[in-house]
Amino acid sequence: MTRLKSLDWLGAFALIAALVATASAEYELARAVGFGTFTAGCVPAALDVYALRAFAVRRDVSAVVVALILTNALAHLVSSGLIPVSVPLVVAVSAIAPLVLWRVKALSAPLARQESAPVAVEPETPESPSEAHTAIPAPEPADASAHPSDPLLPQARAFAEQIQRDAGKAPSLRELQAHFRIGQARAQRIRVQLAGGAA
């Protein structure tokens, strides 16, 4: 446990050192292309927030690493005088904040959609009208021994009794599928177990 905590501290220190190193170069690049003292600080802040968010959700990691490398490389090339400040460079640095805003928002959106996503329902196979009203078939010994009792069997038995009382017939595959939101194969096994009186 002590060694694990030590490794966590080392990782945190490495992350802080890397962010400070990249932030200073990004700040100088923003100042070189005309950003003010305060607004230049927003460029490294935005990139660092984007990086932390991408690492946290494990998406856009490659993109954010490439962005950090390119930004730092440009910063050092400008500061060393190897490339001049030009219109394309000013446009590129000015685009950082809007692009980060878009990507951080995009990284947050799937989380909300995933929480509210409906439960997926297995596709149903249509039944013929004659099959829908057919009595539950007699179980085959091989099926009964091959599959243990389904966890839904007690609820399925109560549902079958209700259908028998209300409609005077056994529930069809479609009714079992729709009521329990299951696939055709599982509904068929439950019908077999209902007919065989499986516990």
**What pLDDT is attached to residue 32?**
92
Q: What percent of the chain has pLDDT over 70?
A: 76
More confident residue, 14 or 5: 14
Q: Is the pLDDT of residue 129 over 90?
A: no
Q: Categorize the per-residue pLDDT at 195 as very low, low, confident or very high, splitting at 50, 70 and 90.
A: confident
Domain locations along the chain:
2-115, 129-196
**What pLDDT is attached to residue 137?**
52
Q: Categorize the per-residue pLDDT at 164 as very low, low, confident or very high, splitting at 50, 70 and 90.
A: confident
d(C-alpha 193, C-alpha 138), whole Å: 9
Backbone φ and ψ of 13, nearest 5°: -65, -40
- Say what the pTM is: 0.50
Q: Categorize the per-residue pLDDT at 180 as very low, low, confident or very high, splitting at 50, 70 and 90.
A: confident
Q: Is the pLDDT of residue 57 over 80?
A: yes
d(C-alpha 81, C-alpha 43), whole Å: 21
**What pLDDT is attached to residue 90?**
92
Q: What percent of the chain has pLDDT over 90?
A: 19
**What pLDDT is attached to residue 135?**
52
pLDDT digits (tens, 9 = 90+) for 82-114: 999 999 999 999 999 898 889 888 888 755 444
Task: State the average pLDDT over residues 23-41.
Answer: 91
Q: Categorize the per-residue pLDDT at 143 as very low, low, confident or very high, splitting at 50, 70 and 90.
A: very low
More confident residue, 12 or 132: 12
Q: Is the pLDDT of residue 187 over 80?
A: yes
